[in-house]
Amino acid sequence: MSRMDAFRNRVGGFAFGGDYNPEQWDPAVWREDVRLMREAGVNVVSLGVFAWASLEPEPGTYEFGWMDEIMDLLHENGISVNLATPTAAPPVWLTQLHPEVFPVMADGERFGFGNRLHYDPSSPIYREYAAAITTKLAERYSFHPALAMWHISNEYGPTAYNEAASVNFRRWLRRRYGDLETLNEAWTTRFWSQRYTDWDQIEVPHIPRTWMNPSRRLDFKRFTSDALLECYIAERDIVRSFRDDIPVLTNFMRFYKHADYWKWAPEEDAVALDIYPNPADADSHVSAAFQFDLFRSLKGGQPWLLMEQAASAVSQWQLNIVKEPGRMRLGSLQALSRASDSVMFFQWRASRGGQERFHSAMLPHSGPDSRTFREIVDLGRELKLLAPAAGTTSRAEIAVLFDWDGWWGLEETAGIPRSDFGYADTVMRHYTPLWEGHHPVDVVSSASSLEGYKVLVVPNAYLIDDEGVRRITEFARDGGTVIMSFFSGVVDECNRVRPDGYPGAFRELIGAKIDEYWPARPHEVFAVEFADGRRATSTWWRDDLHLETGKALATYADGLLAGRAAVVDNRFGAGRVVYFATLLEEAAFGAELLAAVEAAGVRSPFPGVPAHVECSVRGDEADEYVFLLNHSGERAESVPFPGEGTDLLTGERVSGAVELAPLGAAVIRRARA
**Catalytic one of 56, 235, 268, 308:** 308
| pLDDT value of position 218 | 96
C-alpha radius of gyration, the chain, whole number: 26
Domains present along the chain, CATH in parentheses: 3-157+246-389 (3.20.20.80), 398-599 (3.40.50.880), 613-671 (2.60.40.1180)
Cβ atoms of residues 186 and 177 within 8 Å: yes
Q: Smallest Cα–Cα separation from 310: which of 337, 335, 275?
A: 275
pTM here? 0.97
User: Which of 100-114, 315-329, 417-431 shows the lowest mean pLDDT across its residues?
Assistant: 100-114
Q: Smallest Cα–Cα separation from 433: which of 216, 587, 627, 299?
A: 587
Reply yes or no on whether 548 is catalytic. no
What percent of the chain clears pLDDT 90, i.e. is strictly above it?
Answer: 95
DSSP string, 150-213: EE-SSS------SHHHHHHHHHHHHHHHSSHHHHHHHHTTTGGG---SSGGG----PPPSS---
Is the pLDDT at 1 greater than 90, yes or no?
no
Is the pLDDT at 210 greater than 90, yes or no?
no
Reply yes or no on whether 637 is catalytic. no
Q: Span 633-645, mean pLDDT? A: 94
Type of residue numbered 538: S
545-557 pLDDT per residue, tens: 999 999 999 999 9
335-394 pLDDT per residue, tens: 999 999 999 999 999 999 999 999 999 999 999 999 999 999 999 999 999 999 999 999
CA-to-CA separations, 279 to 276, 316, 317, in angstroms, rounded: 9, 13, 11
512-540 pLDDT per residue, tens: 999 999 999 999 999 999 999 999 999 99
| pLDDT value of position 114 | 87
**Catalytic one of 23, 155, 230, 508:** 155
435-482 pLDDT per residue, tens: 999 999 999 999 999 999 999 999 999 999 999 999 999 999 999 999
- Collapsing DSSP to helix, strand or coil, 249 comes out as strand
- Collapsing DSSP to helix, strand or coil, 294 comes out as helix
Is the pLDDT at 209 greater than 90, yes or no?
no
| pLDDT value of position 153 | 98
Cβ atoms of residues 16 and 342 within 8 Å: yes
The whole-chain average pLDDT of the chain stands at: 96
Is the pLDDT at 274 greater than 70, yes or no?
yes
Is the pLDDT at 52 greater than 90, yes or no?
yes
Is the pLDDT at 208 greater than 70, yes or no?
no
Q: How far apart are CA 572 and CA 578, in angstroms?
A: 10
Q: How far apart are CA 442 and CA 300, in angstroms?
A: 9
Type of residue numbered 323: K
Q: Measure CA 364 to chain center.
A: 28
Element (H, E) at 83: strand 80-84
Give, in degrees to the nearest 5, the angle at Cα 441 between 502 and 469. Answer: 25
Locate all alpha helices (DSSP H) within 201-278, ordered by sequence. 214-242, 261-264
Q: Span 13-30, mean pLDDT? A: 97
Is the pLDDT at 580 greater than 90, yes or no?
yes
- Collapsing DSSP to helix, strand or coil, 530 comes out as strand
Element (H, E) at 291: helix 284-298
Cβ atoms of residues 447 and 477 within 8 Å: no
